[in-house]
Structure 1
Amino acid sequence: MSKFQRRLFIPTLLVLAIGWFGFSSYSDKFFQIAKNLDLFASIYKEINTYYVDDVNPNRLIKTGIDAMLESLDPYTVYIPEDDIEDFRTMTTGEYGGIGASTEFLEGHHTIIMLQEGYPAHKAGLQIGDQILSINGIEVEQKEAFDLGKLLKGQSRTNFGITVNRYGKKEPMVFQVDREKITIDNVYYAGMVNENIGLIKLTEFTTHAGDEVKKAVIKLKKEGATSIILDLRDNPGGLLHEAVNISNIFIPKGKKVVDTKGKITDLNRTYKTLDEPVDTQIPLAILTNGGSASASEIVAGVIQDFDRGVLIGEKTFGKGLVQSTRPLSYNAQLKVTTAKYYIPSGRCIQALDYAHRNADGTVNKLPDSLKVAFKTGNGRVVYDGDGLDPDVVVEVEDYPSIALVLSSKGYLFQYATLYHYQHPQISAAREFQLSDADYNDFLNWVRKKELSYETSVDRAYRHLLAAAKRDKTYASLEDQLGSLEEKINALKEKDLTKFKDDIKGLLEQEIITRYYLQKGLIEVTFPDDPDIQKAIQVLNNPAEYKRILG
């Protein structure tokens, strides 16, 4: 055999060996899949036959599927046929209904918000109305999901709704026509002051890009020379809408995001396709821990191109892309198929679901493993844990008393009472409760159950337990008792000590009764630290330029 033949022979053996091992590996994986499916079917059959109690086959299978998918990540989910309509609403922002949000308060399904101009609002329903029945079907004992099924339906269908209303001795009946409801992505678009406009974006459903584009054009016509785009608590949505919104502020042909997954043929690069609306207008993006996914794409693009300033708190850190796959029986699987990478090259995924701990928990990427990237102007940014804002704003927590008044529904109830005692109030930005009004609220709420635990209470409880464990309680009993009395005395003054916080929340609740969503946004402007910091930065061109490098 010649030297050339030996060289040719050896690589050929290697190729055959690799091919055999590759085939063997594939065959083994196929066998494992078939074996485990057979085992699953056998266990399912045995349980249905021999388990001591009757078993719901659909529920049992769904539990198994959900548990399997939960071991991957929170975003890979099974969507049965019964839930398809709700899933479609989440992606399109459209459904057949009446435009009312409800919550279960004090034993009643209660209307907590109305969409202006939609059927519930036009029919005369009010925030605070307690729903008793729909077309004669009593709903008090029904779950919120079942109530939603009764309220939703085909457009142009009619139903009767019976409600209890504050101050009315008898229930009231309204006839409501369902319509096609479109959930607005832009929750608010208006002027914060004479030169700065604000856009509150809460969704990334169909037409989000068009809505933001129209909002920017509208605000510029109204005199806006700077824009605040509020992405706080926006969980994201459709990827292509994130591209469309980015395109409003950056030039045509710029890369917005790469998606990279296991199937390389499905990897994509998304670029801006249209001429932008404005590439120069000063821009501030508000973010917090609830800004995720598509919100982070938009915020990350703006940061990577040094197109605007990010203000607020670190974002959530979701850098995973989901696609839907059709299944049998009209079901679907929403499955994570890729990670996304914004223009600087970084992926901002915070949690590593592929390497769980033994107990199933998931860790964040440690700081030591984060990689540095650079924006267009050379500013250093990092991957692996959401987006860090350019300007950090520390948001103070509300005092415990304010949170208790809100969670127990007392602010909501009093706002309803106030509404029916005051047919009109001043404009949302001008409305303020007087001291007499606040004293009326104090007299009303002091008749309610107001027990609550503060951080100081919890610290005292731990101190007490430690003293008893260390057998020092007897010698400290008098001092500990005195400390508890002082803590309780301080709590009794909380309603007056934290008057400004409580009054502000109560004013917000009252304003929704008259001005709905728009009023709720506008009343927060003066006290919103993120908005105030954005105004400060946008009104200082030198500072704005310095931040962007």
Structure 2
Amino acid sequence: MSQRWKVILPLAALALIPTGAAVRAAAESDTYKQLDQLMDVFERVRVDYVDKVDDQALIKGAINGMLTSLDPHSSYLDARDFQTMRQTTDGEYGGLGLTVTTEDGAVKVVSPTDDTPAARAGIKSGDYITHLDGELIYGATLQDAVDKMRGAPGSAVKLTIVREGATKPLEFALKREVIRILPVKFETRGNVGVIRISTFNKQTSDATKAAVASIEKKLGANLAGYIVDLRSNPGGLLDQAIDVSDVFLDKGEIVSQRGRTKNDIQRYYAKGGDLTGGKPIVVLVDEGSASAAEIVAGALQDQRRAIVLGQRSFGKGSVQTLIPLSQDSALRLTTARYFTPSGRSVQEAGIEPDVQVPQLSDATRADRPRLREADLRKHLINEIKDGTEKIVETDLKPDPRFIATPEELKKKGVIDFQLDYATKLLDRLAPGGPVQSAAVAVVPTKVLQK
């Protein structure tokens, strides 16, 4: 017969077993010791560093170091950073028109903005900027690099670029301009309306509505459908992504954002009234389509409202909240992940197109690296729900269906293969006759001043 033993501890021994409160108190005590150590380092640097240092610079450096250890998108904003952010979201600043990030101390181009000095000069996504006016910027903070690229309109600046596949560094002599970011342009290709959305600033949703109205007025009953071009769109304001999605949706969820706790979920829905009248839609995306652009593409894809065409998007599925610290400083902190209506997290994996179509008309694209969220240091890891890891496509295997060269396409009059493919796809979807593929002049939308 087995015996069951009971062990009875004396009260004195029970007092030695840590309770939850005791564990928390010990953890807090250890945290305060670490903070004391931080202050010790601060004082030692002030007193013993070889050069005299500025206290504010030291404190800002400590804060930035803490935030950059979290993820690539959390940061501290001082008065200068605030001004930069306002210029970007308001849609006007003096500079070159580049969206950049840092990778291992190097400044890397995410995407050039349409119709800016950088785009016209041929600077590409994935390029590394090594020098500005001959001065090495490796190791500089991202804000310092941005400040050096911005400046008075008309002033000149020389960029040295390292591009994968190029045998030597490339030199670009540019003149700064007033960068007025027109977030939306439109054109008509035969009976198809093409809406190009380059960023999500305060004007984007109104400009999108104006583009839809203008296209409908021009084509009338002959309108076969819309192409929403989100390629190389780095994102922007969340509320604008929601409003733009609502332009094309009659009902249903657009996006949800979920914080740290189980119940911290906020959902956003279409308000009703599809302004396009249910016409067929094709959404174009590529590896430069990020954040707000991915919200729109994911919403229209999950709601079966559009066919997404192109290549896998950037994969930034996190939400940053601006938390004021004082009158001239704030904390930009990652506070949530966002999810598409079907519950997909876009973080790392991005939006997978319904139809994978490479950009065959870009001769240099195959030699350029594809920069995505998963390539950034300290990026948030996508949560795996079912215990199996999603295998992300690498863009390395060519699709045998797409074998035309840029030269062959140019002879056929095809300048933008993905756009041409999307136009022909709408041709097949249209209930009426054939859709022509000839393009007319691109017209920027104008938003009425309120």
* Structure 2 length-normalised TM: 0.62
* Amino acid in the other structure paired with 2:421: K
Aligned to 2:280: 282
User: 1:527 aligns to what SS in structure 2?
Assistant: coil
Preserved contact between residue 360 and residue 406 of structure 2 (Cα < 8 Å): no
Preserved contact between residue 288 and residue 314 of structure 2 (Cα < 8 Å): yes
Aligned to 2:210: 214
1:1-16 map, 5 Å: none
> Is residue 421 of structure 2 the alignment partner of residue 533 of structure 1?
yes
Query: Cα distance, 1:21 vs. partner?
Result: 4.0
Q: Between Structure 1 and Structure 2, which shows a larger proportion of strand residues?
A: 2
Mean alpha-carbon deviation: is it higher for 259-268 or for 75-84? 259-268
1:102-181 map, 5 Å: 145=146, 150-151=151-152
1:221 to 1:29, Cα distance in 2 relative to 1, 3 A? farther
1:26-37 map, 5 Å: 26-37=24-35
Q: Which of 1 and 2 has greater Rg?
A: 1
1:79-478 map, 5 Å: 79-95=77-93, 145=146, 150-151=151-152, 182-186=180-184, 188-191=185-188, 193-223=189-219, 224-252=223-251, 254-262=252-260, 267-328=265-326, 330-350=328-348, 385-396=349-360
Query: Cα distance, 1:259 vs. partner?
Result: 1.0
Alpha-carbon distance in 1 for matches of 2:246, 2:19: 48
* Amino acid in the other structure paired with 1:244: D
* Amino acid in the other structure paired with 2:186: A
User: 1:324 aligns to what SS in structure 2?
Assistant: strand
Gapped regions of structure 1 (runs ≥ 5): 1-16, 104-111, 121-126, 129-138, 153-160, 165-177, 351-384, 405-497, 505-523, 544-549
Q: Cα deviation per residue 1:415-461 (whole Å; 9 max; x = unaligned)?
A: xxxxxxxxxxxxxxxxxxxxxxxxxxxxxxxxxxxxxxxxxxxxxxx
Preserved contact between residue 235 and residue 291 of structure 2 (Cα < 8 Å): yes
Q: Cα deviation per residue 1:30-54 (whole Å; 9 max; x = unaligned)?
A: 3333322221111011012112333
Q: Cα deviation per residue 1:160-192 (whole Å; 9 max; x = unaligned)?
A: x6889xxxxxxxxxxxxx99x752211x2111x
Alpha-carbon distance in 1 for matches of 2:308, 2:241: 16
1:531 to 1:83, Cα distance in 2 relative to 1, 3 A? same
Alpha-carbon distance in 1 for matches of 2:22, 2:413: 65
1:141 to 1:59, Cα distance in 2 relative to 1, 3 A? farther
* Amino acid in the other structure paired with 1:91: T
Q: Cα deviation per residue 1:323-357 (whole Å; 9 max; x = unaligned)?
A: 0111246211111101111111111211xxxxxxx
* Amino acid in the other structure paired with 2:356: V
Aligned to 2:39: 41
Q: Cα deviation per residue 1:278-334 (whole Å; 9 max; x = unaligned)?
A: 241110000111111111111011111111111000111121111011124621111
Query: Cα distance, 1:149 vs. partner?
Result: 6.2
Query: Cα distance, 1:60 vs. partner?
Result: 3.6
Preserved contact between residue 204 and residue 238 of structure 1 (Cα < 8 Å): yes
Q: Between Structure 1 and Structure 2, which shows a larger proportion of helix residues?
A: 1
User: 1:387 aligns to what SS in structure 2?
Assistant: coil
User: 1:530 aligns to what SS in structure 2?
Assistant: helix
* Amino acid in the other structure paired with 2:206: D
User: 1:526 aligns to what SS in structure 2?
Assistant: coil
Preserved contact between residue 200 and residue 231 of structure 1 (Cα < 8 Å): yes
* Amino acid in the other structure paired with 2:423: I
2:68 to 63, 67, 70: 70
1:70 to 1:287, Cα distance in 2 relative to 1, 3 A? same
2:59 to 55, 58, 61: 61
* Amino acid in the other structure paired with 2:208: V
Preserved contact between residue 237 and residue 294 of structure 1 (Cα < 8 Å): yes
Query: Cα distance, 1:257 vs. partner?
Result: 1.2
Alpha-carbon distance in 1 for matches of 2:90, 2:23: 42
1:287 to 1:114, Cα distance in 2 relative to 1, 3 A? closer
Alpha-carbon distance in 2 for matches of 1:262, 1:320: 12
Alpha-carbon distance in 1 for matches of 2:309, 2:97: 30
User: 1:247 aligns to what SS in structure 2?
Assistant: helix
User: 2:42 aligns to what SS in structure 1?
Assistant: helix
1:182 to 1:279, Cα distance in 2 relative to 1, 3 A? same
User: 1:222 aligns to what SS in structure 2?
Assistant: helix
Alpha-carbon distance in 2 for matches of 1:278, 1:162: 43
Question: Using CA pairs below 8 Å that are at least 6 residues apart, which structure has the higher relative contact order?
Answer: 2
Alpha-carbon distance in 2 for matches of 1:388, 1:344: 14
1:30 to 1:329, Cα distance in 2 relative to 1, 3 A? farther
Alpha-carbon distance in 1 for matches of 2:309, 2:27: 49
Gapped regions of structure 2 (runs ≥ 5): 1-14, 100-111, 122-131, 136-143, 158-176, 369-404, 432-450
Alpha-carbon RMSD across the aligned residues, in angstroms, is 4.1
